Amino acid sequence: MAKLIDGKLISAQIRSEIKEETNVFIKSHGYAPGLAVVIVGENPASQVYVRNKARACEEVGFYSEVHALPTETTQEELNALVDRLNADDKIHGILVQLPLPKHLDETEVLLRIDPNKDVDAFHPYNVGNIMIGNYKFLPCTPAGVMALLERSGIDPAGKNCVVIGRSNIVGKPMAMLLLHANGTVTVCHSKTKDLAAVCREADILVVAIGRADFVGADMVKPGAVVIDVGMNRRADGKLTGDVNFSEVEPIASAITPVPGGVGPMTITMLLKNTLTAAK
């Protein structure tokens, strides 16, 4: 039976530490770290995320603003808001909730955010710093995975680490962070030959592809650590990850559940980035 890596518990511990640090920060500076979240349109999942972010800010003592813009917002209007937030001393972190409506250029918006306020770490300046290992901010989900490993006593150094997925948000930065932690890293994707065989070499397997129950027992080496970044909704409405938990849990040494694994860590790492930006 695998050890369950409890993201809720670890997230709560880190948030408690952030709250303490925030109290010290407020006492010495006279103001709270500030986060502005911008959401355009009516995407229900995005609205849930934004509400959760606002609640998390309140929990740790941050100042927060939510800018909810209508779907028909123009590029010029969105750019002007980002410019205003860049210039606002109360705001230390800016997050534009993706995806944006189709008529808006995500790249243009991300480039416009001041890199020192880019708490999602999506600006090319911050992506480049992650590449060379000289970073202030880390993308929230990969940073959350690294925190889960660290606090569970799992050291990637010298281990075979396989990442399934090569997105700019999770897969690529995840590979870089494991590499910085001295793991030997393989990145797999839709063109990888004999994916199952590659995955069976992994001491640490990170799955981030957005396909429900994709990884089964035949893809996992006995004793491997399995980190499931996926968040998919089944036909019956239940959430499930990219890993078939019931198949893989008996053979893994440690595994994250869905929900309650990587998910709670993402917003927690956003809080950590915002506190870093304020400092």
Is 97 catalytic? The answer is yes
35 Cα distance to chain centroid: 16
101 by Cβ neighbours in 10 Å (0-12 / 13-18 / 19+) ranks as middle
Provide the token pair at 6.
Answer: 């409890």
6, 114, 118, 120: the active-site residue: 120
Question: What is the DSSP code string of 161-227?
Answer: EEEE---TTTHHHHHHHHHHTT-EEEEE-TT-TTHHHHHTT-SEEEE-S--TT-B-GGGS-TT-EEE
Is 102 catalytic? The answer is no
6, 97, 228, 242: the active-site residue: 97
Cross-strand bridge partners of residue 239: 233
- Residues whose CB falls within 8 Å of the CB of residue 134, separated by 6 or more in sequence, listed in order: none
CA nearest 189: which of 179, 204, 199, 176?
199
Is 19 catalytic? The answer is no
Q: Categorise residue 131: left if φ over 0, alpha if ψ from -120 to 50, beta otherwise.
A: alpha
Q: Please give the Cα distance from 105 to 75 (Å, whole number).
A: 7
Asked if the bond preceding 222 is cis, omega within 30° of 0, the reply is no
- Residues whose CB falls within 8 Å of the CB of residue 158, separated by 6 or more in sequence, listed in order: 182, 183, 184
Pairing mode of beta strands 239-240, 232-233: antiparallel
6, 53, 228, 242: the active-site residue: 53
Q: What is the set of active-site residues? A: 53, 97, 120
